[in-house]
Every structure is written in C-alpha cells, then in structure tokens.
Structure 1
C-alpha cells in the first residue's frame, strides 16, 4: 500500500477528528474560543501541527495558532465577486460602507486598551470616516448607525469583542442615552485583518495575488500549478477544465490530487469530462448550501434549474436554443481587477516600496515549454434569454401563488429572479452575460432536483416548504 502524503502521523481511529478540524479551518478561516462554536478551537489546536504542515504543502497556506485563536492565511490566485462577509443577523453581504467601517473600527480598537464603550469608539471612528470622500459617519444619517451595529455584531460573533454591559440595540435606538461596553481581545482583532503584503506597498490589488516570479522553471511551475489546482478545488463549488491554464488542467486530472483532498477533508471528489468538484456530503462545508430546504432564494433557484432542464429536454423548444462561447475568464478577471483598482487611494502609497504586479505576471519561456499542451478548448453553452427567464418566474408564481414566496418577494418576482440567478452564478451553475445566462455543465446534475419540489398543504393547494425564519423576512 502506498504511503499517504496527507495526515501522515494521524492514526486511522483519529482521522475523522482530524478531517473535521481541517474542514473547520478551511470553511471559517478564523476559529476562536466562541466562534464558530464552543470546543471548535480545542479540536483545531489538537491537530495544529499536522494541519499547518498539510496546509503549507498542499495549498501554500499558513496556519497560525495561539491559545485563543487559530488563523488560516490564504494565498489568492484570483478575485471573484462571490467573496463576501455576511451580517450576523440578516446574513446579507457587507456593502462597501460596512467593509470600510470594519477596517476603521479594527484600527481604532488597535489603539485602545482592554475595554471601550461604543460611544467612545464612535467618537474615534467619526473623524477617520469623515476624512474619506463619500464615506463619512453621522448618527442621524440613515444607514450609518445600522452599519456600525452590523460591524460590532460581526466582531462579537468572532470573539474579537465581548459585551460586558449594555447593548448595541440600546445605542442604535438612542445614541445619546444608550451605550454598550466591550472587552477587547486584541490578539483576535489582529488576526482578523492580516493581509499577505502591506497595503501601503501596493499600486494595484493584483499585488495581493499569488503569482509566480519571472524565470520560474518547469518543475517549480508544475508544483505551483498543483498547488493552484488544489486551491481551486477547495475554494470554488466546481472547477471547469476550460477555465484554467494547461498546467493547472493537467494537475486537476492527476489521481493524487483527489486522494490528497479526500484524505484531508473526508469528502469525495467527483470528476466529469468538463471539470471536477468536491462534494459536500456533510452539509456543513460550504457558505452557500444548495439545494436546501427553506429559503426563498435557494428554493427558487432550484425551481429555475428544473425549468431550464425542461426547456433543454423539450424537443419542441430545445431546437431554438442558441449555443454561445463563454467569456474568456482572463479577460473577466482583468475587468474585475481594474474595477477594484478604481477604488485605490491616489495618495499614501510608499513609492519606494511599491509592489508592481506586472513584474510577476509570467515566467521566462524555456525549451521545456513545448511539452505543455494547449489549454482545453471552450465549447458552446446553452443561452437562455432574459425574457425566457422572466416567463419561468411568472409560471412559478402562477403555479404556487405569490404568497408562497414570502412577504418579501410576493410582489417582486423580478427581484427574486435576480437573486436566484446570482446564487446560481456564485455556484458556477450558470454564467451571467448580457441579455441572459449561459447554462454551465454542472447544472445538469440538478435536472431531476427534488429538494425544492412542492408539497401538498392542508387546504389541498401546493406550497413551497419555507422555514419559519424565512417567512418572517
């Protein structure tokens, strides 16, 4: 039997515990005494040495652990629009204001002692926020106090702060009389914001990405491609061979990749002709559960996939479908990067230490490059026009009744359609393009989806089985 390359020193009886600790770190990034749950930190610390080695060897990640927290420092190969912090209560993505307030509040906490009340923290925050054009903070401006409360709840949830008196709700209702007192966990605050490079040294967000240095030889490039392939498999719902470069596609097809990831996580790797995915059989190793019971957006997205499958399988309608090539992933990423860079400040960069990402974007070719095959060819994907999608959502509302889609969405089918398609795009099941969507190959696995099918209600009508908490939204 070949020796394992992952969890080498872990006994078979302890492998399940090790894999649970690995999934915790990969999913949450930060584990503290209270986040994501009690006893999670103890489990991670038990396997900290083994995890640190495997994360470094497999992904190039760094695991930093102390008695009060564990932090996984990732290396990014690309940016994507699906990366987001979520509010604790509503589970909505942080907007730009909340992200800015989070950074400023962490900076203010760094300059504070062991405790601080919210009123004093806001006094520290206000001049910094007002010094930034289009940001600002004023307690009477709609949305500003709500953004601060969401940030404070996020920090409390992760154990960076602990409420010892009062509440953020009291302050939000009346900032002149209400207040909250927080104990500060400085080590956790420092762990939450730890970029790979000093931001003052960057002239572009591309400097945060992991790019091989110019002149990298064939063998180092292959090792880097293997690391990149493993990172993609862990970080994304599905990886399509046609979306990667040739060396990464070769690494994704290697049997050792599936063996290593399966042993690390305890989850099976599924490979198809078009790509590869890590299947979450636990139901807890993802930030976006799909399909799922409950949630108007989640279940509507599943019903849309069923409608799309019916369209593709209907002999009378499938012939009218167009098949279009998806946009080039490199061009899309370059466009996203340019939009991120638009928000960079015009001053404050230390020019003498500035990192120029253009110096790291490639390698010097050598004779061995001829052995690398061409990237996998792109194939046409079914194009579903926006008008057809609107017809699908209208049919769902007619079939189940507007009230089945909760009070939030019963009068807004277009909004629910947009949110459902955004979820499917985040899951790499569809790709949004002007005028509609392209249906990606992994959507085919849900053509017989049953988790979102209606059930009979007591009155004989069919209704969507939403969870109680969702109906209150």
Structure 2
C-alpha cells in the first residue's frame, strides 16, 4: 500500500471518529479505525488531549467539549430529529442507570418499570420531575430515549417493535444489552461518584475539569488542546470571543494548527480577520447544513440574507412578520401550511436555531444580531452591464 493510500485511509478513519465518537464493530469505518488506532490515538492525544480507546467491539473517542454552555446541538430523536426535551434527557439518564444493573437481556416493559422506580427518588420528585407511562405521549418519550440507545449501539433489538409498544404497553420488545458500549459512554475526566457538587452546571464543570498546567510548556499545550477542540467542533471560532491568552496563541499559531488539522481530516481552513472556520469540502462533518432544500431551508437562507444586509439587531416579532411576508411572496414554492397564521413563528424558530448552531447569529432575549461570518449569505445587488455597441 502506498503512502498516499495510507493517508487516505487514516483520513477516512479520523473523519468517521469525529462524526461518530462512539463506534461499534461491523462497518468499514470501524475496521479502518482499528487498523490506524495507534496513529490516530497519538494525534488526538497530542493535538486535542482526547483519549481514543479501541477494542474488538468498540472505538471510543472521549471528546471533551471546549465549551460547556453550548445549547445549540442537542440530542435528537433518531427518526423525527426533534430535539430532546428536559424530560427526555432525564429519561435517558434513568434508562442508563437501569441498564447498568440489568441482565444481558431486557424488555422495554422491564426497562420502563425500572425507570418509574428510579424516578421515585426524592431528589427528582422535589425538582418537579415525575413520570407515568399510561398514555402514548408519555411512552413516546421513553421510546425516543431507547431509539437513541439503539443508534449508539448500547442496545440491540432482538424481537418486537417500539411502535407496537407505543400503541399498547402490553406489546413488548426484547433487547440485548451491550455492556462494553454502555461502559464507554461517559466522557468525564473523573468518576461521577467523586463529584460533591449538587448544582447540575457545577457538576458538569467538575466532571470535565482537567489538571491545571503548572509549567509554561504545559500551559501552551493546554492552549493548543482547547483551540484545536474548538476548531474541530465549532462552526466558527471568532477571535473576539476568545480569552486574551487563547486569542494571542491562535493568532501566532493559526497556520500550524490549521495545517495539522487539514492534513489529518481534509478540512480546509478559511482564515478571516474576524476568525477561523474549518470548512468541509465534502459537507459530511456537520449535523447542521446550510443551505438545505425545502421550505425550512429556503426560509433560513432568506432570513440569513436579511440579517446580513441590514444593520443592527432585529426583534423576533419583526422577523416573524418578515417570514409572513416571505410566505406570501413564495407561496408557489413553499408548502401550503407555511401560509397558516401560526406557521411563521415556527418557521422562524427553526431558522434561528439553525443559524445559532452554525454560530452565525447572537441571541439576547428577543433580539437577534448577525455575527461577522453571516456576511457570506448577503445578497449583493445585481450588476447590469451595458451591451457593447458594434461598429
């Protein structure tokens, strides 16, 4: 195998890990990750501080996020792509608790019983969280959590179907519990049982806290790790939003850092005065795309163009009215329901959510402000050239 072929394989494996940090056996990508595990583990350790563990069944890249306050990329139901609610997140965590203590196989009914028992904890009750599985809507939240575990490979369906359980809870589903995958889920830097903080935000900080550098070499390495993580994870890294030490380091090392990322992943650095974006020419390493087809995609593009070409902030009511006007202008192309009275607010919410996830806008209360990178979606005035006269 030539050096070029080896680099191509390693790049494919690295991209697969970035897109799916927890992989299970059975795919060509998993085979490539196992084949190049040594080189990949060394790169991620040196450049990001992330650990990569690979065995015969799983490959786990323990990604520690550069920012813990980013709410723009929630877990989503595998089929509907609807963002998880607080209730679904709690159900997911309770389901993991039950699975940790379960046998090698479990039914959906037994899992639901275990979740209901765990939900009786006084701490959960005091916070106003309670669960019942009497209605289809209530069971659908548990099913969304279970399907996410199926997608991750924690569970393997043996018999039955979740749709039947939704219709009638007496219809059960049988799963294998894949313990190696379950054990690989937590990406914390310390055991949860060692954290004494009770506030959820504080617990998250403690769970991911890393050892403070005590030498200049370690300090610079920590800076490189944080910045490389952000360039790999975030749509845009704005200089103005970085602490002074990270800003200074990135400005001086941006070419070296982005070159190393490009060599491994194939991402292309877009360097601008306001910051850096690592762009994927193949449009694969993103969970949010822009633009997209359909009514929602067109609305997002038009809202982006409006924000990019007008000065100052805009209130959400103003933008809702804009979407209503756009629905009239484009009624021949948008789906019919877009013209309904309540549709504009929903379409705007989806558009702003997508733009926020791509770090193209800032939101403060009901005010929406364009960020510098949004200018790429500005529509320039058309240039009309005069026809040459023929002599």
Q: Normalising to structure 1: TM-score of the pair?
A: 0.73
Task: Report the CA distance shift for 1:208/1:111 in structure 2 as closer, same or farther (over 3 A).
Answer: closer
The runs of 5 or more residues in structure 1 that have no matched partner are 1-9, 313-320, 322-381, 450-473
Structure 1 residue 136: Cα displacement = 2.9
Separation (CA, whole Å) in 2 of partners of 1:85 and 1:92: 8
Q: Deviations over 1:50-78 (max 9, x none)?
A: 11110000000001111111111122332
Who is 1:193 aligned against? 186
SS in 2 for 1:18: helix
Match of 2:40 among 51, 62, 67: 51
SS in 2 for 1:263: helix
Match of 1:29 among 21, 25, 28: 21
**Do the aligned residues in 2 keep the contact of 1:404 with 1:410 (CA within 8 Å)?**
no
Q: Does 1:267 align with 2:267?
A: yes
Separation (CA, whole Å) in 2 of partners of 1:251 and 1:406: 52
Who is 1:420 aligned against? 351
Who is 2:92 aligned against? 102
Structure 1 residue 387: Cα displacement = 4.6
SS in 1 for 2:119: helix
SS in 1 for 2:59: strand
Q: Does 1:244 align with 2:232?
A: no
Who is 1:317 aligned against? none
1:56-205 counterparts in 2 under 5 A? 56-79=45-68, 80-131=70-121, 132-133=124-125, 134-141=128-135, 143-176=137-170, 178-202=171-195, 203=197, 204=202, 205=204
Task: Report the CA distance shift for 1:298/1:123 in structure 2 as closer, same or farther (over 3 A).
Answer: same
CA RMSD of aligned residues (A): 2.2
Greater shift, 158-167 or 195-204, is seen at 195-204
SS in 1 for 2:313: strand
Q: Normalising to structure 2: TM-score of the pair?
A: 0.87
Who is 2:217 aligned against? 219
SS in 1 for 2:79: coil
**Do the aligned residues in 1 keep the contact of 2:313 with 2:368 (CA within 8 Å)?**
yes
**Matched length:** 365
Per chain length, whose mean CA-contact separation is higher, i.e. which structure has more relative contact order (CA < 8 Å, sep 6+)? Answer: 1
**Do the aligned residues in 2 keep the contact of 1:119 with 1:175 (CA within 8 Å)?**
yes
Who is 1:303 aligned against? 302
Match of 2:320 among 363, 368, 390: 390
Who is 1:401 aligned against? 331
Match of 1:439 among 354, 370, 374: 370
Who is 1:471 aligned against? none
SS in 2 for 1:60: coil
Structure 1 residue 209: Cα displacement = 3.8
Structure 1 residue 403: Cα displacement = 7.7
**Do the aligned residues in 2 keep the contact of 1:229 with 1:249 (CA within 8 Å)?**
no
Structure 1 residue 394: Cα displacement = 2.2
The runs of 5 or more residues in structure 2 that have no matched partner are 381-391
SS in 2 for 1:416: helix
Task: Report the CA distance shift for 1:143/1:193 in structure 2 as closer, same or farther (over 3 A).
Answer: farther
**Do the aligned residues in 2 keep the contact of 1:306 with 1:447 (CA within 8 Å)?**
yes
Q: Does 1:16 align with 2:21?
A: no
**Do the aligned residues in 2 keep the contact of 1:225 with 1:251 (CA within 8 Å)?**
yes
Who is 1:357 aligned against? none
Separation (CA, whole Å) in 1 of partners of 2:162 and 2:307: 45
Task: Report the CA distance shift for 1:123/1:441 in structure 2 as closer, same or farther (over 3 A).
Answer: same
Separation (CA, whole Å) in 1 of partners of 2:340 and 2:145: 30
Structure 1 residue 13: Cα displacement = 2.4
SS in 2 for 1:123: helix
**Do the aligned residues in 1 keep the contact of 2:327 with 2:338 (CA within 8 Å)?**
no
Separation (CA, whole Å) in 1 of partners of 2:339 and 2:214: 53
Structure 1 residue 235: Cα displacement = 0.9
Q: Does 1:286 align with 2:286?
A: yes
Separation (CA, whole Å) in 2 of partners of 1:218 and 1:92: 45
SS in 2 for 1:404: coil
Separation (CA, whole Å) in 1 of partners of 2:211 and 2:96: 32
Structure 1 residue 388: Cα displacement = 3.7
Task: Report the CA distance shift for 1:72/1:409 in structure 2 as closer, same or farther (over 3 A).
Answer: farther
Q: Deviations over 1:294-347 (max 9, x none)?
A: 4x43331111112234x43xxxxxxxx4xxxxxxxxxxxxxxxxxxxxxxxxxx
